Amino acid sequence: MGRTFFQRPPAGYRAVRGMLITQVQEGLRTHGIDPGPSDGLFGDQTARALATYQKAVDLPPSGAVDAETWQLLVSPQPPGLRERCLQVTADFEDHGFARVIGNVDGAGLTWGIIGFTLASGSLQRG
């Protein structure tokens, strides 16, 4: 098994979420394996689907996304550092950049990686 990019966390830890996981889920679906909803959340169903796929293509059935699994499912190029950093940020934002969120963290409205602070009337610097 090569370098691990994403995996299902142990019980009690937050699941990985974001557009890269959605791409993995859609890749599994393209190969006829149901990962559950394409919600960008790396849950148990996605991990089981990955293990099933890995077994079918003669990879160790880890249920994790390593470089080889990513290349077969999504793209010949592994996700870059920028995309993986956005993945982490998407998880902290708690919605995977999938919708506009209200002022839950004092930052004003947040959509994607852009936050608009209503109090100052400006975009936050990133």
Average pLDDT over residues 105-118: 54
Residue 77 and residue 105 in one domain: no
Q: Find out whether 49 and 35 touch, Cβ atoms under 8 Å.
A: yes
pLDDT tens per residue across span 17-55: 888 899 999 999 999 999 999 888 888 999 999 999 999
pLDDT, mean over the chain: 79
Residue 84 and residue 106 in one domain: no
Residue 64 and residue 17 in one domain: yes
Instruction: Give the pTM.
Output: 0.73
Encoded tokens for 109: 């409205």
Least Cα distance to 93 among 69, 70, 109, 71 occurs for 109
Residue 80 and residue 108 in one domain: no
Q: Find out whether 15 and 90 touch, Cβ atoms under 8 Å.
A: no
Amino acid at 63: G
Average pLDDT over residues 72-92: 79
Residue 106 and residue 87 in one domain: no
Task: Report how far residue 77's alpha carbon sits from residue 68's, in angstroms, rounded to the nearest whole number.
Answer: 10
Residue 100 and residue 114 in one domain: yes
> Domain residues for 121?
94-126
Residue 69 and residue 105 in one domain: no
Residue 105 and residue 65 in one domain: no
Residue 36 and residue 75 in one domain: yes
What is the crossing angle of helices 19-30 and 81-93, to 10°? 110
Residue 45 and residue 99 in one domain: no
Number of domains the chain contains: 2
Here the CATH number for the domain that contains residue 24 is 1.10.101.10
Least Cα distance to 87 among 11, 15, 9 occurs for 15
Encoded tokens for 47: 């991990």
